[in-house]
Amino acid sequence: MTNDDLQQASTWTRNYRNQNTSGVNAHCLPAETLQNLLGQSGCVGVRAYYGLDDAGQPQLVLVGYDAQDNDLLAGPPVAARSAMIQDVEPQDAALETTQQLATNLPICPPCCSVTNALNS
């Protein structure tokens, strides 16, 4: 990491705090959660989706993705998306893969670092 990287990251987090008054500044990601996501068969990375909970608070939804950039959800991407749109669980035997999502991650505050370039 260079000083330019830290300066840019500091500017971005400051911009976010200035424009978003929800009080949520960050999310904490436990190592075990990240390891579980990355440990899935075929997983090459983790994607972060932004969301809002019922109270309007920012939330992250983390999911592993494969070498074709598809989220690792239960079953093939199209079938899983169809099941989610219909708000039902996939019943097809071909869709019996483990679904790994990380939600309800601890937020900052209270899960915050001491004052530094990213949070002040």
Residue 116 · residue 14 · CB < 8 Å? no
The whole-model pTM stands at 0.73
DSSP string, 65-99: E-TTS-B--SSSHHHHHHHHHTT-----GGG-SPP
Q: Average pLDDT, whole number, for the chain?
A: 82
pLDDT of residue 89: 44
The pLDDT tens digits for 26-71 are 999 999 999 999 999 999 999 999 999 999 889 999 999 999 999 9
Is pLDDT of 90 > 50? no
Indicate the pairing of strand 26-27 with strand 45-52: unpaired
